[in-house]
Amino acid sequence: MSAGKRGALIIFEGCDRSGKTTQSRLLVKHLKSKGLSVLAMNFPERSSSIGQVINSYLTNSKDLPDEVIHLMFSANRWEHMNQVKQQLLEGTTLVVDRYSYSGVAYSAAKGLDFDWCYAPERGLLKPDAVFYLRAPAADDLANRGQYGEERYEKVEFQGRVAKVFDKICSKEASYWHQLDASQSVDDLHAQVAGIAEELLPKVANQPIDKLS
Ligand code: NYM
């Protein structure tokens, strides 16, 4: 990599079981095969002390007020931002499974105010691209296995989450790519890889923006 060229911040978003984890792994593998420096990340990042509280909440061994867990998800992103920025500036592309938009979508789906939910995300690094894997009907997703083991993995709730993602997608259309999550893994990957390959050289000399 020549001096000064940064990596891209690429996010996968969508409901539970929409294929984000599979697609983000495939993208990392694909970009690595092209000789690029790329790392996978996911939020929540469950290993930090904040992440461990989030994990206890998600696995139902701990209860917290909706506002508190919302702010913990956000804090979990904030605690990793310096490291993320450093990696991008060193030329590493980050492929991230969930980000601020999951934070807003899941909490707003519970009934918290949308703008209140978004406020703590302002100032975090702005993604260069978001791949929104738009789910088919939520009950189709339930058939993909292991649905219902963690908090939030309920058909009706996922439908509400999808509505918030749809709203964000139409507001943030300039860098969101809505993709049909019901197509085959390979077809979806081909679309994702094509968009990512075009994106990387475009952002390499651009400053890193912040969410506003
Ligand atoms: N989740 C994830 C939130 O509610 N807020 C957030 O900010 C983030 C990043 O955590 N059901 C929810 C969505 C998922 C759950 O995520 C765990 P994953 O990708 O299944 O580990």
Ligand 1 centre to CA of 209 (Å) is 24
Between β-strands 129-134 and 93-97, what pairing exists: parallel, antiparallel or unpaired? unpaired
Q: Copy the structure tokens of residue 88.
A: 């991008």
Q: Copy the structure tokens of residue 24.
A: 């983000």
Mutation to probe ligand 1, out of 12, 73, 98, 107 (largest number of atoms < 8 A from CB): 98
Mutation to probe ligand 1, out of 58, 64, 71, 165 (largest number of atoms < 8 A from CB): 58
Nearest alpha carbon, ligand 1 atom 7? 103
Ligand 1 centre to CA of 195 (Å) is 25
What's the pLDDT tens digit per position in 182-194? 999 999 999 999 9
In this prediction, residue 8 carries a pLDDT of: 98
Band (pLDDT 50/70/90 cuts) for residue 147 is low
Nearest alpha carbon, ligand 1 atom 14? 16
Ligand 1 centre to CA of 139 (Å) is 19
Residue 142 has pLDDT above 70, yes or no: no
Residue 62 has pLDDT above 70, yes or no: yes
SS3 content of the chain, % helix, strand, coil (to 5): 50, 15, 35
What's the pLDDT tens digit per position in 93-134? 999 999 999 999 999 999 999 999 999 999 999 999 999 999
In this prediction, residue 1 carries a pLDDT of: 43
Ligand 1 centre to CA of 126 (Å) is 19
What's the pLDDT tens digit per position in 149-198? 789 888 899 999 999 999 999 999 999 999 999 999 999 999 999 999 99
Between β-strands 9-13 and 176-180, what pairing exists: parallel, antiparallel or unpaired? unpaired
Residues with Cβ within 6 A of ligand 1? 16, 43-44, 58, 73, 97-98, 102-103, 106, 150, 152
Q: Determine what percent of the chain is predicted with pLDDT higher than 70.
A: 93
Angle at alpha carbon of residue 91, lines to 87 and 96, rounded to 5°: 55
pLDDT, the chain, mean: 94
What's the pLDDT tens digit per position in 42-52? 999 999 999 99
Band (pLDDT 50/70/90 cuts) for residue 4 is confident
Give the burial class of 86: count Cβ atoms within 10 A of its Cβ; 0-12 exposed, 13-18 middle, 19 or more buried. exposed
Which residue did the predictor score with more confidence, 1 or 97? 97
φ and ψ at residue 3, rounded to 5 degrees: -55, 140
Cα–Cα distance measured from residue 124 to residue 136, given in angstroms and rounded to the nearest whole number: 30
